Homo-oligomer: A and B are copies of this chain.
Amino acid sequence: MLGRMMQMPLLISSLLRHAVRWHGDSEIVSRLVEGGIARTTWTQLGERACQLAHVLNDWGVQRGDRVGTLAWNNQRHVETYFAVSASGAVCHTINPRLFPDQIVWIINDAEDTHVFFDLSFVKLVEQIAPRCPSVKSWIAYTDSEHMPVMTPQALCYETLIAGRQTEFDWPQLDENEASSLCYTSGTTGNPKGVLYSHRSTVLHAYCVCLPDTMSVSAADCVLPVVPMFHVNAWGTPYAIALTGAKLVLPGPALDGPSLASLMADEGVTLTAGVPTVWLGLLKHLKEAGQKLPALQRVVIGGAAAPPAMIRQFAEMGITVRHAWGMTEMSPLGTVCTLKTKHTDMSSEAREAVLLKQGRPIFGVDLKIVDAEGRELPRDGKAFGDLMVRGPWILESYFKGAGGDVLQDGWFATGDVSTIDPDGYMGITDRSKDVIKSGGEWISSIDLENHAMAHPAVAEAAAIGVRHPKWDERPILVVVKKPGADLTRDMLLEFMRDKIAKWWMPDDVVFVEDLPHTATGKLSKKDLRERLRDYALPGV
């Protein structure tokens, strides 16, 4: 027997309609690429989104067609998010920081019919356009006054929408239709597209706003530092429409002083981004002696926040919320907030909890499994491959890339983690980096952290090398600090009382420097290939 409630699909057009109708004068403030600050409201943004939808309509953009963006966080980008998705097309946000070859590959794979771009990317567009045959037009996010002369000649965003009708009859879509597309910057192989639906986006937006997630209300002023080309800025544009909070968009200026002045001027209460950005902000605040009295919460994801960062914010009365997720998860999976039971704990004990990646938001389920797929205990000690499932988690990649990626209905995150009895998940390693010795797992990150604690170590990588008896055994690859005196035995002795005996690296290899990826991460893949047979007899 079915319930007798209204069948109303969860649609992105409903989010826009809600914001315009109930929060018409809530502000959207943008720092422009052209210079200066633009201020608008949901009433105006809604009208401009309708105007843009008429443009898309005239172009013959069909339901399911992909429309690309190469842009920072700004008002026009938000308009495009809503106009494209609400009208039934797919908003494909492209990361302009990728190599041009990757961008070309992604646009061709997505078969984008039109691409909107910020003026920062004129050169990039000129470079890639000849190799993107599906793109019928490139649209510059600017007015006629600032239009660049370029080849191919772009269209002017403001000229296109000017004078169009400010109402649009958004189609009543199936909530499972595709709404947006974001490619993973996979470390191996070609990027793969994650195709979100209206349903997954709206459910995720509810979850973003929950008190234990980002806690967004109509009284908040939110500045997403995380780019809108990075998993839809973690869903913040949708969360803002859902709640009517004020939205502040930093454009291309993500340096400490620029962020601090925008936050102070606009009264930002909530912000979100990766640790690197906060290093810059905290450095500036300290040097300039500046305070941000309105700021209450900083959501940190993308990488683990160092304890010192959490402490520095806490000293300013600002709460850090560790978040974890991935492109395949829309992206939020877990957020770290405290439970009632932590209220009376010491601040050290609370800080230890806050260093973890957090508890799953309702909708997301997690488990850790061993190499055979058996669930491991949630005791805070066992660690295994972290598996997830939920209505805003990917079932398969765009166009079926990579084939069937689920295991028994669960998505393998590629992370290795623990889960403690209170439900807090802590990332221990990446699945491909964890060292599998005699059926037991050793965390490469743990070994590196212990090695790096030695004052003579500049950088360290722990990798597994082949072993005739144990399959794999750990070794350390170490760069010494200039002029430092350090031997294999000195380092291992230093680590002896800190780790389990069978975790102890079999050897230490000293090198001049370690290989890094384009984004500055340690490339253990290269090291593993070079040293794979290091421990085998006769090598």
Given A218-B359, A219-B337, A219-B338, A5:B177 Cβ within 8 A: no
Contact call A220/B340, Cβ cutoff below 8 A: yes
Number of copies: 2
B-side contacts of A398, CB under 8 Å: 4
Contact call A337/B217, Cβ cutoff below 8 A: yes
B-side contacts of A340, CB under 8 Å: 26, 218-221, 245-246, 267
Which of A207, A210, A389 is the most central at the interface, judged by chain B CB atoms within 10 Å of its CB? A210
A365 and B22 CA atoms in complex are apart in Å by 9
Contact call A392/B15, Cβ cutoff below 8 A: no
B-side contacts of A341, CB under 8 Å: 25
Residues in A151-206 with C-beta less than 8 Å from chain B = 174, 176-179, 194-200, 203, 206
Is A394 interfacial (CB 8 A cutoff)?
yes
B-side contacts of A209, CB under 8 Å: 210-211
Our pick among B22, B90, B216, B422 for the contact of A211 (Cβ within 8 Å) is B216
Which of A3, A21, A24, A243 is the most central at the interface, judged by chain B CB atoms within 10 Å of its CB? A3
Is A343 interfacial (CB 8 A cutoff)?
yes
Which of A8, A25, A63, A221 is the most central at the interface, judged by chain B CB atoms within 10 Å of its CB? A8
Contact call B5/A394, Cβ cutoff below 8 A: yes
Our pick among B8, B26, B206 for the contact of A210 (Cβ within 8 Å) is B206
A185 and B421 CA atoms in complex are apart in Å by 45
Residues in A53-95 with C-beta less than 8 Å from chain B = 63-64, 90
A227 and B392 CA atoms in complex are apart in Å by 34
A405 and B21 CA atoms in complex are apart in Å by 25
Is A345 interfacial (CB 8 A cutoff)?
no
Our pick among B21, B199, B409 for the contact of A3 (Cβ within 8 Å) is B199
CB nearest to A180 among chain B residues: B3
A25 and B340 CA atoms in complex are apart in Å by 11
B-side contacts of A394, CB under 8 Å: 4-6
CB nearest to A360 among chain B residues: B22
B-side contacts of A252, CB under 8 Å: none
- Secondary structure at chain A's binding surface: helix, strand, loop or mixed? loop
B-side contacts of A178, CB under 8 Å: 1-4
Contact call A7/B206, Cβ cutoff below 8 A: no
B-side contacts of A4, CB under 8 Å: 178, 194-195, 197, 394-398
A368 and B273 CA atoms in complex are apart in Å by 41
A337-357 vs B, CB cutoff 8 Å, 1 = contact: the mask equals 111111100000000000000
Is A463 interfacial (CB 8 A cutoff)?
no
Contact call A6/B218, Cβ cutoff below 8 A: no
Is A18 interfacial (CB 8 A cutoff)?
yes
Which of A25, A218, A411 is the most central at the interface, judged by chain B CB atoms within 10 Å of its CB? A218
Given A6-B389, A195-B3, A362:B423 Cβ within 8 A: no
CB nearest to A243 among chain B residues: B212
A246 and B340 CA atoms in complex are apart in Å by 8
A355 and B194 CA atoms in complex are apart in Å by 46
CB nearest to A17 among chain B residues: B365
Is A10 interfacial (CB 8 A cutoff)?
yes
Given A4-B396, A5-B197, A394-B5, A218:B337 Cβ within 8 A: yes
Is A276 interfacial (CB 8 A cutoff)?
no
Is A320 interfacial (CB 8 A cutoff)?
no
Contact call B10/A391, Cβ cutoff below 8 A: yes
B-side contacts of A22, CB under 8 Å: 359-360, 423
Is A322 interfacial (CB 8 A cutoff)?
no
Our pick among B2, B179, B339 for the contact of A218 (Cβ within 8 Å) is B339
Is A393 interfacial (CB 8 A cutoff)?
yes
Contact call A5/B212, Cβ cutoff below 8 A: no
CB nearest to A206 among chain B residues: B206
B-side contacts of A29, CB under 8 Å: none
A174 and B212 CA atoms in complex are apart in Å by 28
Is A215 interfacial (CB 8 A cutoff)?
yes
A398 and B2 CA atoms in complex are apart in Å by 10
Contact call B396/A244, Cβ cutoff below 8 A: no
B-side contacts of A15, CB under 8 Å: 362
Residues in A1-40 with C-beta less than 8 Å from chain B = 1-8, 10, 14-15, 17-18, 21-26
Closest chain B CB from A86 CB (angstroms)? 15
B-side contacts of A103, CB under 8 Å: none
Interface residues, chain A, with chain B CB atoms under 8 Å away: 1-8, 10, 14-15, 17-18, 21-26, 63-64, 90, 174, 176-179, 194-200, 203, 206-207, 209-212, 215-221, 242-246, 267, 330, 337-343, 359-360, 362-363, 365, 389-398, 409, 411, 421-423
Can you pick out 29 interface pairs between chain A and chain B where the beta carbons lie within 8 Å of each other? A1-B63, A1-B178, A2-B177, A3-B179, A4-B396, A5-B391, A6-B391, A6-B409, A7-B391, A8-B391, A14-B362, A14-B363, A15-B362, A18-B365, A21-B423, A22-B423, A24-B421, A25-B341, A26-B339, A26-B340, A206-B206, A211-B211, A212-B217, A212-B218, A219-B337, A219-B338, A219-B342, A220-B340, A246-B340
Q: 3 nearest interchain CB pairs? A: A3-B197, A1-B64, A211-B217
